[in-house]
Structure 1
Amino acid sequence: MTSPSEDLPSLISEDDRDAVVHRLQEAYAEGHVEHEEMDERLHRALSATTRAELASILVSLPQENTGTTSTISVAAGRIRRRGAWRVPRFLKVESAYGRVRLDLSKAVFDHPMLDVELLLGTGRAKITVPRDAVVEFDDLRTGWKDTHYKPPRAIRPGGPRIRISGAMGFGRLKIRHARGWRATTQP
């Protein structure tokens, strides 16, 4: 006998649908899908209601290139990134003693999601995110002070999702949204 939950199809969220559409766009840009096939698969993705339907759309595509982890590391001193710099999919920031300032407001995002792992001993960290970014930091452990973050009242859809994890010893992380600038996400 099956339970009622086994009889229900696994419904999808808008994030699931967006991830499939993004992967289709990448496959098209890489030359794995022709124009007509792209249109047909996009139509199927936009009308799909279950995870199985979404999975069937991607079945013949090569695996997504998720990128490698880039590491910014210093024993003592400052880490500072700003301006129009290319942000990898995974970013690891390590500092035993010193300040960290990451300004992502003018950064170029290769992926719709950025995972930042902070491994900081002492010192403050400040991250400026694009105006339309969605920020998550539930997996960040702080030893001394809580993270300071005031989310905006409204976020326009389409911005990058930034997940911050790791550990901070003595210091505070401040996260703020930029004013007026929008990050560039490469299709």
Structure 2
Amino acid sequence: MEARDLRVSDAEKEHVGQLLQRAVGQGMLSLGEFTERMDTALAAKTRGELNSVLADLPGMQVAEQPSAPDRYPPMRPDRTTAQSHAPHWPASQSDVVKGTMSTVTRKGPWHVPPRMSLQSKMSTITLDFTQAVMSTQVVEIAIDDYCSSVTLVVPPEATVDLNGVETVGASASNKVRTGPPIGRLHVVVRGRVRFGSITAKHPLGTSLRRMLGH
């Protein structure tokens, strides 16, 4: 079997995603091209298919060798990979939500700490606070995200502040009140979202129930 026909792992796809992100930062790819190539990389099954998204990017090709250690060229540290841009809470005061190329959902009567850290890459994250058990009125979320879709679902009386979120080729959409806090929950999000999205919204049907007076 040729090297290009070998199967690739999720970790290899993630690494290629980082290389594509670096290419965007260096002006070699537009955001539209980045999105198309990420879709191809995520669907790739063999090394040849994965290599196709890097073939025209100087210095970023995947070496078609069977040995894993030399499979990729080294990456130079930069602002997007060398450090986290989200605040770090003490472990005793926070709850960490992690996701890498996965789907993570928290809903129902889950216990919400005063501070949370959200670390995600190419994932779908949903934090549903509508039935959650709160320990404090204000919940602080430190986010460090790359190419994910993050959704915060909050009760009708809740407020959400996304003003502390830095977006890089991403979107931050707040569909609820920003503040001041008027109910039992006020969520404050700080950190960075890169090539993904974060949305704060009420449960489906909330607007209709308000119109009907329920």
Q: TM-score, normalised by structure 2?
A: 0.48
Q: Identify unmatched segments of 5+ residues in structure 1.
A: 1-66, 182-187
Q: Distance in 1 between matches of 2:164 and 2:130?
A: 22
Q: Does 1:177 align with 2:188?
A: no
Partner of 2:136: 111
| Residues 1:93 and 2:92 aligned together | no
Matching of residues 5-44 of structure 1 within 5 Å = none
Aligned counterparts of 2:106 and 2:158: Cα–Cα separation in 1: 18
- What does residue range 129-148 of structure 1 map to in structure 2 within 5 Å? 129-148=154-173
Q: Deviations over 1:82-130 (max 9, x none)?
A: 1111100101111122111111111111011100111111121111012
In the alignment, which residue of structure 2 is the partner of 1:71?
Answer: 96
Following superposition, the deviation at residue 151 of structure 1 comes to 2.5
- Structure 2, unmatched stretches of 5+, are 1-91, 207-214
Identity %: 19
Structure with more contact order per residue of length (Cα contacts < 8 Å, sep ≥ 6)? 1
Matched residue type, 2:184: G
User: CA–CA distance in 2 between the matches of 1:111 and 1:150?
Assistant: 22
- Counterpart of 2:187 (choices 146, 158, 162) is 162
The alignment partner of 2:171 has SS state of: coil
After TM superposition, give the deviation of residue 179 of structure 1 in Å. Answer: 6.1
Q: Deviations over 1:18-73 (max 9, x none)?
A: xxxxxxxxxxxxxxxxxxxxxxxxxxxxxxxxxxxxxxxxxxxxxxxxx6111011
Larger % of strand: which?
1
In 2, are the aligned partners of 1:131 and 1:180 still within 8 Å (CA)? no
Amino acid at match of 2:114: R
- Alignment partners' CA distance in 1, 2:181 and 2:151: 23
Matches within 5 A, 1:116-131: 116-131=141-156
RMSD: 2.6
User: In 1, distance between residues paired with 2:205 and 2:93?
Assistant: 30
Kindly report structure 1 stretches of 4+ aligned residues shifted beyond 2 Å.
154-159, 178-181
Measure, in 1, the Cα distance between the counterparts of 2:200 and 2:104.
16
How many residues end up aligned between the 2 structures?
115
TM-score by length of 1: 0.55
What is the CA-CA distance between 1:178 and the residue it aligns to? 2.9
CA contact (8 A) 1:86 1:107 kept: yes
